[in-house]
Structure 1
Amino acid sequence: MVANPSPPRTLPLTLPAAVVAEHRVDLTAKPSEGWGFRTHDVVTNTAGETYALCAAGRYRPEAVASRDPFRLNFTYHLITRYDPDGTPTATALLGGPTPGNVPTGLTRGSDFGLAVLPDGTVAVSSAPGNTHLFTPDLSRLVESWSTPWGWQDGESKERTGDPYALSIDVTPSGRLLCATAEYGVKNWAGQVANLVALSEPGSALGPGSKATLRALATHDARTDRQTAADRYPHVVFDGAPVGGANRPSPSLTEMLSTDDRARLDYADCFLGRPAAMGDDLFVVPVFGRTYRSGSRGQVFSFLLLDGRGVRRGELEGMHRYEDSPFTGARYTVVGDPYRARAFHLNRYGLYAWDAEGRMRARIPLGDAPFKALTHFSLMGCTPAGELLLVHGKQHLLLHVPVPEDLDDLADAVRAALKAYGPGRSALKRRYAPVAWHWQTDGAPVHRF
C-alpha cells in the first residue's frame, strides 16, 4: 500500500564538510572560475528515504602539476542518503583528485542516474553502460560493471568492456526497465543508446548476477557494421543476444517516420531515458537531432509501449515549438508507476498525462508564481505520489504532492511554491549555507 502524499517539503542537497576542508574549496567561486556542483538524479524508496546523486568538481590549469591537496583539481560524485525528515545519514564519495578535470574510476560516464532496487540496493548507472551497486547504507560497493573509454591499436576499448545498462527504472513489481547501448549503430564510432529492455520476473540484479533483459524496442535498426563480438549475453530478443537483424521491429525511428518529411525530421534522432508508468506501460522519449544554432522547434515524441514492445500511442498535446524541451535541454520524462501517470517539466511548462496519453494538465511558466519553476529540474516521482524538483542554483529539493485529480495540479504546485520560501529560510538558519552550498558533518562519508 502506497502512503498518501505528504505536505510540501524542502530539503538541502548537501556537501560533506570534510571534502570542503580537505581541498579548501572556495564555495563562492563561479563555474567560470573552475568550481561546479550539480545534481544528476534523486530517487525515493517506499519507506520515504531519499537518495541524491550529485557531482562536485574543481579545475584550475595552474593546479595540474600540483601535489598540494589545497590546490589539486578533483572530480567527485556523491550519493547521499536522507531520512524521511531530510537529515543526511550517509554519503558515498566516488572519485578524487585528478591531474585535470577528467573523471576516473566510478565517476566515468555521462547522463548519470539512480535507482533503488527491490531489495534496497542502490544502483548508479551512466552512459555508455556503467552500472555500480551499493548497499542501502552506502557503506559498500557490492558490484560494478563498466565500459572502458578510449582507443587502443585502432580499436575502441568499448568492445572489450563489461557493461550492463545506461539507465534503470523500477516497476512496482520490481522489474527493471532499462536503456542499453550498442556498438556499430549508424555511423557512430562508439556505443550509443539504442535499446529499451525489460527484466523478466524473478531475474535479479546483484553481486555476480546480471538480470537478463528482454529487448522491447530498437531505436535505430541501422546496424550493418555490427559483428558477433558486439553482442551482450544479458540483452536478448527471441531467445538470443540482440545483434544484427535479431531485434524488435519496427524500430522507434521507423514508427515515427510515417512520411518523407517525418523521415527527414527523425533522421539521426536520439533516445531519451525510458520511464515506467506501470508494470506493463512505459514512456519512451525520442528527440530529433540538435543544432549548435539552437534546436527549438525540432521534433520529439513521447511514445507509449507495453511489456511486449507494442506501441500504445504517445503522450499527446505538446507543440513542437511552444512546448519545446530543447530549450535548456530539458529532456526528462518521469512516470508514476503506482498511478499510471507521466510528467514533464521544461522552460515553458509543467505537463501531466494519464495512462491513455491524454494531457490532463499544462501549467505555463510565463507568469508568477509558476515562473519560478524555470529554475527547477524534474528528477522523478516518489512512490507516495510527489514530484521531485531540484533548484539548480540553490541546491534544494522540493517535494510537490500530486493530487489524485490531475485537474488540481496547478493548485498543488502553487501551494508547494508558496511553502518553498519559508522552508528555505528554515534551512538557512540550520545550515548557514555559503553561496547556496549546504555543508554537513554529522553523517559518515564512505570513500570509493
Structure 2
Amino acid sequence: MAALLPLTLPASLVGEHRVDLTAKPSEGWAFTTYDVAANAAGETYALCGAGRYRPQAVASTDPFELNFTYHLLTRFAADGTPTATALLGGPTPGNVPTGLTEGSDMNLAVLPDGTVAISSAPGNTHLFSADLSRLVESWRAPWGWGEERTGDPFALSIDVTPAGRLLCATAEYGVSNYAGQVANLVALSEPGSTLGPGTKATLRAIATHDARTDRQTDADRRAHLVHDGTPVGGTNRPSPSLTELVSTDDRARHDYTDCELGRPAAMGDDLFVVPVFGRMYRSANRGQVFAFLLLDGDGAVRGRLEGMHRYEDSPYPGFCFTVVGDPYRGRAFHLNRHGLYAWDAEGRMRARIPTSDAPFTALTHFSLMGCSPAGELLLVHRKQHLLLRVPVPADLGDLESAVRAALKSYGPGRNALKRQYAPVNWHWSAHSARVHRF
C-alpha cells in the first residue's frame, strides 16, 4: 500500500526567522527538495533547501528581514514521523551559503553501516551519523576561480549496491575546453571498502565520459581514483569514452559533442545504468539525443534501456534527467513530463505509463527521487512538498495498476496530513524533530 509523508520544516527555524510561509518564490522565499533516500528499516531521509532573499534586507539584523540559506537533512521514522533534522547553513549577507553542502546537484545516499552521505558538485561529500547528531567526515572541493585543483574531493554522486559497493560519478579538471571541474568519470568501489573518518574508499574508474584531457597535469590526479592500479589522469583512463560509444554516426557525433554525464544508478552489484544527454541549446531541446547505457563492473557495455522515442518521450522538457535503479531486483525507472517508464535487467521496457491519460496526468507534478530497498518508488510533489512511496509489483506489467492505486490514495492521505499538521501554503512545519545545527 502506498504511503505518504510530509517533507517538513523545523518549527524552530520558522519561528526564529519569523518566516512568512505564505510568501511566493517571486517574493524571495523558496523551499526545495533535492533528493530522498531510504534504508532497509523503512526509515527515510530527505535533503531539502530553504532560503529567503530580500535585496533591501542585506544589512538588516531583524530576524524577520534577515536573509538566510539552509540545507535540511531530515530523518523520518517508518511511520513518517520526523525524528531529527541536521540544519546546515544560516543567516548570511548576500545569501551565500555557509553550510557544508557547497556546490550543486546534491545527492543523498545511505551507506551500508547506516551513515548518511551528502554529495554535490564538483566533489563535496559529507558523512553524517544515522541519527544525524554528528558530522562524521567531510571532503570538500571548492568552486572558486583558481581553486579548481585544490581541495580534497570524493564524489559528486553516490549510489549503493546490495553488496555495499559504491557507484560514484566524479569530476575532473582539464577536460576539453572547460575552465572548471566537470562530471567525467564513473567509478566503483570494491565490496568491503569503507568510507568514514579519515578513510576514503578507493574508486576504480570503469568509464570515461569525455576523453579530451590533453590539458591535464599530474596535479589533477586524485589518489583515491585509479585505473590499472594508478591514479586516473591524461590517457590513463577507461577507453573508449561514453561520448564515443553513443556517437554512432555523423549526426550523433554532432549532437553528442560536449554532451553531459547524468547520475549513474545501480541495477545490481555488477549492472549499472549511465545516462548521457546531448548538448543543451538555449532554445527548446525536446527531440535532442539521449542514451541510457548499461555497463557492467568492468565498464563493458551490456546494452541500453530501450523503447523511448527521442521526441515523444523526451526528458528535456522540465529537465527530468534522473534515472533510478532497484539493485535488489534488477530494475530501472524514469519519470518525465511524458510518462513513467520501467525496464528489466536486460534493458527491455516493461511498462510505459503516459501522463496524457487520466489519472496519470498528476505524475507531471512529481519528481522521481529514488527506489527504496523494499522496492518502492520515491516520488516528491514539487509544490505540495509531499513524498509518495509507491510499492512496485514483482511483475512490472502490473505497475500501471499500482500507480493508479497510489494516486487514488494520495488525496485522502493528504487530507489526513492537513488535519495533523495544518500546513500553510503547502509548507509543513513540525515541532517533534530534534534539530542539530552544523
Q: Secondary structure at the match of 1:420?
A: helix
The residue type equivalent to 2:186 in the other structure is V
Aligned equivalents of 2:9, 2:18: Cα separation in 1: 13
Report if aligned partners of 1:175, 1:199 keep a CA contact under 8 Å in 2.
yes
Aligned twin of 2:381: 391
In 2, Cα distance between equivalents of 1:105 and 1:27:
22
Structure 2 counterpart SS, 1:195: strand
Instruction: Name the CA distance, whole Å, in 2 between partners of 1:164 and 1:440.
Output: 34
C-alpha displacement of 1:30: 0.7
Which deviations, in whole Å up to 9, do the C-alpha atoms of 1:373-429 show, x marking residues without a partner? 000000000111110000000000001010000111000000000000000000000
Distance 2:282 2:79 in 1: 43
Aligned to 2:362: 372
Residue 334 of structure 1: aligned partner: 324
Give the residue type in structure 1 aligned to 2:114: G
Partner AA of 1:145 in structure 2:
W
Which whole-Å CA distance do the structure 2 matches of 1:174 and 1:339 have between them?
Answer: 15
Equivalenced residue count is 438
Q: Write the deviation string for residues 102-156 of structure 1: whole angstroms up to 9, x where unpaired.
A: 22231311000100001000000000000000000000001000112212xxxx2
Task: Return the match for 1:279 from 265, 269, 277.
Answer: 269
Other-structure match for 1:247? 237
Deviation at 1:69, TM superposition (A): 2.2
Which of 103, 106, 118 aligns to 2:97? It is 103
How far apart in 1 are the matches of 2:143 and 2:398? 47
The answer for the alignment partner of 2:125 in structure 1 is 131
Q: Pick the aligned partner of 1:347 from 319, 323, 337.
A: 337
Deviations 1:51-72 (A, max 9, x none): 0000000000001111222211
TM-score (norm 1): 0.97
* 8 Å contact from structure 2 (residues 101, 124) kept in 1: no
Question: Which structure 2 residues correspond to residues 48-447 of structure 1 after superposition, within 5 A?
Answer: 48-151=42-145, 156-447=146-437
Superimposed CA distance per residue, residues 181-221 of structure 1 (whole angstroms, 9 cap, x where no aligned partner): 00000100000000000001221000000000000000000
Does residue 28 of structure 2 align to residue 38 of structure 1?
A: no
* Equivalent position amino acid for 1:50 in 2: T
Q: Contact between 1:348 and 1:365, CA under 8 Å: does it hold in 2?
A: yes
Structure 2 CA distance for aligned equivalents of residues 147 and 214 of structure 1: 20
Structure 1 segments (4+ residues) deviating >6 Å: none
**SS of aligned partner of 2:245:** helix
Distance 1:298 1:85 in 2: 42
2: CA distance, partners of 1:263 / 1:149:
30
For 1:349 and 1:443, the matched residues in 2 are separated by: 36
Give how far 1:329 is off: 0.4
Alignment-derived partner of residue 21 in structure 1: 15
Partner of 1:3: none
TM-score, normalised to structure 2, is 0.99
Query: What is the rounded CA distance, in whole Å, between the counterparts of 1:119 and 1:256 in structure 2?
Result: 37
C-alpha contact (below 8 Å) 1:75/1:107 kept by paired residues: no
SS of residue in 2 equivalent to 1:389: strand
Over residues 157-192 of structure 1, what are the superposed CA-to-partner deviations in whole Å (9 max), with x where a residue is unaligned?
A: 121111000000000000100000000001000000
1:442 CA drift (Å): 1.0
Once residues 65 and 189 of structure 2 are traced to their aligned partners in structure 1, the CA distance between those partners, rounded to angstroms, is: 46
Q: Letter of the aligned partner of 2:188 in structure 1?
A: L
CA contact (8 A) 1:75 1:101 kept: yes
Q: Distance in 2 between matches of 1:338 and 1:423?
A: 28
Deviation at 1:48, TM superposition (A): 0.4
Q: CA deviation at 1:292?
A: 1.6
Letter in 1 for 2:216: Q
Structure 1 residue 101 displacement after superposition: 2.0
RMSD: 0.7
Distance (whole Å) between structure 1 residues aligned to residue 320 and residue 98 of structure 2: 27
Is the 1:346–1:374 contact (alpha carbons within 8 Å) kept by the matching residues of 2? Answer: yes
For residues 193 and 415 of structure 2, the distance between their equivalents in structure 1, rounded to whole angstroms, comes to 46
Between the aligned partners of 2:142 and 2:260, the Cα distance in structure 1 is: 22
Counterparts of 1:68 and 1:241 in 2: how far apart (Å)? 51
Is the 2:323–2:333 contact (alpha carbons within 8 Å) kept by the matching residues of 1? yes
Unaligned runs of 5+ in 2: none
Q: Give, in whole Å, the separation in 2 of the partners of 1:391 and 1:10.
A: 11
Instruction: Name the CA distance, whole Å, in 2 between partners of 1:350 and 1:201.
Output: 32
- Tell me the SS of whatever aligns to 1:107: coil
C-alpha separation between the residues in 2 aligned to 1:203 and 1:405? 34
Residue pair 1:76, 1:107 contacting (<8 A) in 2 also: no
Q: Percent identity?
A: 81
User: Could you report, residue by residue, the CA deviation over 1:207-238 in whole angstroms, capped at 9, with x for unpaired residues?
Assistant: 00000000000000000110000010000000
User: What amino acid is the match of 1:159?
Assistant: R
Quote the Cα distance in structure 1 between the aligned partners of 2:64 and 2:134: 28
Alpha-carbon distance in 1 for matches of 2:98, 2:148: 16
Q: Are the aligned partners of 2:71 and 2:89 in contact in 1 as well (CA < 8 Å)?
A: yes
Instruction: Give the 3-state SS of the residue equivalent to 2:15 in structure 1.
Output: helix
Matched residues in 2 for 1:112 and 1:439: separation? 23
